[in-house]
Structure 1
Amino acid sequence: MSQNQNLADLSAAGVSVWLDDLSRDLIATGGLQEQIDTHSVVGVTTNPAIFQNSISKSDSYAEQVSSLAKAGADVDAALTAITTDDVRNACDVLAPVFAASDGHDGRVSIEVDPRLANKTDETVAQAIELWNLVDRPNLFIKIPATKAGIPAIARVIAEGISVNVTLIFSVERYREVMDAYLDGLDTALRNGHDAAKIESVASFFVSRVDSEVDNRLTAIGTPEALELRGKAGLANARLAYAAYREVFEAETRFPDLQAHGALPQRALWASTGTKNAEYPDTLYVSELVAPNTVNTIPVKTLNAFADHGWVNTESIIGQAAASQEVFDALTAVGVDLADVFVTLETEGVSKFEDAWGDLLAATQTQLDAAQS
């Protein structure tokens, strides 16, 4: 099988294509391997909503649920067993990619319980537990970039564990994330860990920013405000990439760590499926192309890009000043960007908690049925 040319071009431009989806059926049917073979997929991300969708809509989990029920597992233990099994198996599928990329890609992400988003110690404990349960070197532990998550990130990195930092919305919070990564590397080196084996990505959410800002612009309703719709998400991501380059290419702290084998914490574009039908369906892929980045792409968007996507290699580099002008214009028409980012983080945690709650309820129903 040959690779789709559009996605091959995206990869050649320095963007690692990760699939924002996982299910037991996708693994068992060879669908994940097919995405690797034909769509340049070199990684997988999961989140509570993805697991909720896959587990609640498939019969593939029935046998395991029955075994867990007979063993007396409670719902939390059952869900941990189910999700870690899927992620472990996906890690095995991607192991050749991991080896071929020298550990750079071939990664699969699993998220800590979203109910722990505001609990530092508990997040650290579960991150270590998940790392040990999955027991694969190409695993990423996802930790949200909440205020409680920032110190957790540093502590988990210090344990030599690779981390995917999720739910980043503002450049200010992103700078805290990068600092936490560097702090964690400092401690990891002192603890005797090999820095070259610690990978991290910072997941910067894109389309949700446009959704929130566009709603506010529509409410303001002036011609100047309406003209800015659809511009905030890309501008925010481009400013984030400028911050990434500043920290990992220009500042003095990282080179000292790099001399010990440390790797940059790559910027990852998340929430890249368009939510507004008026926008091109490949907008957040075509317009976020830069070296050493990752784009986690939902299946629908991945297929759209394979069909008609194009690679704009000038979409990020050199766009920081223009992106700041967009932010200045948003502020000028009355958009409170600080409030936008607080709202998005709060809603992001809440949405994942709701999805996890639905998943727990569905799993409990299956456990009860298996015991009856």
Structure 2
Amino acid sequence: MKSENDNLIIDGIKTLLDVSPLYGNIVMNLVREVNPQAANPLALKWQGHHWYLLVNPNLLTARFTSHNQVAAALAHEALHVIWQHPTRYAKEREHNQMVDIGTDLAVNQYLPRDLGELPGAISFQTINELYHINLPHNQDSSTYISLLSEVDQKNSRAKKRALPKHTEWQSASNSIEEAESALKNVIKKANDDTKYAGRGNVSGAVLQQISEVVVPKRNWKSILRSGISQAPNKKKDSRARFNRRQAYRLDLPGEISRYDTEIAVFIDNSASISNSQASEFLANAMQITKQFDINVHFFSFDTKVHQIKNIKTWQRHAGGGTTFQSIFDALPALKFFPLQTLVVIFTDGDGEKELIQTKFKHVYWLLPEGQTLSIPSPFGKVITL
């Protein structure tokens, strides 16, 4: 006969598989170990060439009272897997508490809303109460850890509250490469399991992170080159080519493609962009002129679009906020046409959270590693620099 603890765990897994099959299948691809001595209700541990979901049934039933809450706690662990936190921070020694808080804050904002609140979860409100700061949403854990590490903890109330600890992640520190590979395997298997059945209600930022693992890496310039080759083009006669319809007629010209495609490059110049990021954007943007023999036009943007007359001599002056819609409002005004224009946007992804209205669909969003795009349902291709 199953105990009440077993029923709560099993019902929690079933609920998660119903609400969010992607998260549920990540949990299903972990080896489960029940340990009443474990320090946390749930934890991720590397042992014997496998990733384990460590379960303390006593703490689980003490903290969570419904299968929805258990499902939310399981989703929390699944999100740590998706962002590969156990291997990224396995060797972290400095600011351990900041790692625990920063990683939890990063994943808790993507928990399935249908499951309700996760008891004891670190939230932006929690951080405001403890450290008296307002942190930006939809950022990577590394950003939160960095910002929290700058806070003077002597005047905070953090030490008086029981905060999460992920000490089990250190179990992977002595075999980090194998552990990384195994963690990615868990993500790939879960993604394959839900590819046809559906992933459930999952944020675009989570899907982007999944694609970072399951989609083979390609240099952004090769992706852009592929986009150019697929753009509409016209044909023109050429004596350098055989006529494909009548190859034996040497007097007839062949045809070669003539591309009318133009590239419009937009560099994020808002206040959230650091000088080092701006320099990286500029260096990558200048490579486009060297690698592609088509018309390339450069612009900077914040809440407005500004033309860059000479990319080689452009001097950056930090602007204000970021509005992606300003780009797509400016394109038709600048006489660009949707079918013939490839839009390349260098940005940290931090802009408005509303849907973008535009007919321009050949769009390439180039973001620094670890950053996500703020707009819902991103169109085009989101690429990591």
TM-score range with shorter-chain normalisation? under 0.3
TM-score w.r.t. length of structure 2: 0.25
Larger Rg: 2
Larger proportion of helix = 1
What TM-score comes out, normalization by structure 1 length?
0.26
Larger % of strand: which?
2
